[in-house]
Each structure stands twice: as structure tokens, then as C-alpha cells.
Amino acid sequence: MTLHLSPIKITLVDRHVPLASMPVPAGFPSPAADDLEDTIDPIKWVVRHEHATFWWRVSGDSLEAEGILDGDLIAVDRAGKRRHSRIVVAVVDGAITVKKLAKRDGVWFLDPRARADAYATIPVTETTEIWGVVAGVVRRLPIE
């Protein structure tokens, strides 16, 4: 089975939201700041190449050790640099997968980064297409 991917037009709408003046510590608590530094458009912060970026929903947990979980949305940049240790979307034997690109002893692989050993490393061959690089992850958390 051959998979053909074609681009779709995406229009970004500016949505600026307040950004706090200090980062929130994920370690020890720090006194809260009551002033705002600036505004930020979270989507534009993730998307660097608007016309080369596509959004995909993740299915599966093969990248949970990288913080990418089942159901997350990923922004995939076709113009991103394909380098060792980047998370990429690849087409392997007509199937799409998202994995960590790795090079060991001069050979390229697509590595799963699951906490369990349920997934196999995939060797990159001449028929493997590195479709794009993951530029960001969006996850919606419960608030009720």
C-alpha cells in the first residue's frame, strides 16, 4: 500500500494571551508574580514555518518517555531539520509513524521511547521517508 500525503491550506488566526513575567517553577514553589510580562500567541510560538506545518493527533504510547502521549496533538514541520535525537513523522512501508530519529554506528533508526518494551526499533532504509519534524505538542488536561 502506498500512502500519498498532500498539503492542505492552513490559516493561522492571531490569538494573543497574557504571559506571566516569571516562569513557574516545576521544582520548589516560588512567590507568585502579579504582573504580566507580555502577550504570546501559543500556536505561532510552536509553528515556525506556517505553510510547512501540519497538525496530527497521536495514537499510541510509543513516545511516552519523550512526553508525547496518546491523544496529544503534534505540530509537524516539513521544513524542520532532520537530525539525530529529533522526533519525526516517517512513512515506513506505506505506514505513518512518529518516533525519535537516532544514528548509531553510522546507521539511522526510528526509536520508540515507550516506558515498556512493546515497540521495536525501526531501521531507516532507502524507502523510508522522513516526512517532517515534530515542532511542538499540545495536550488538553481535565479542569473539572
- Residue where the block lists cell 473539572: 144
Q: In the annotation, is 85 catalytic?
A: no
Instruction: Enumerate residues 6+ apart whose C-beta is below 8 A from 78.
Output: 49, 52, 53, 54, 131, 132
Cell 495536550 identifies what position? 139
Beta partners for residue 77, in sequence order: 53, 133
Q: Is 44 in the active site? A: no
Q: Is 96 exposed, middle or buried (0-12, 13-18, 19+ CB in 10 A)?
A: middle
Separation between Cα atoms, residue 123 and residue 117, nearest integer Å = 17
Q: Which is catalytic among the residues 21, 62, 100, 103?
A: 62
Q: What is the DSSP letter of 52?
A: G
Among candidate residues 6, 21, 99, 103, the one labeled active-site is 99
The C-alpha atoms of residue 131 and residue 138 are separated, in whole angstroms, by 20
Q: Hey, which residues are catalytic here?
A: 62, 99
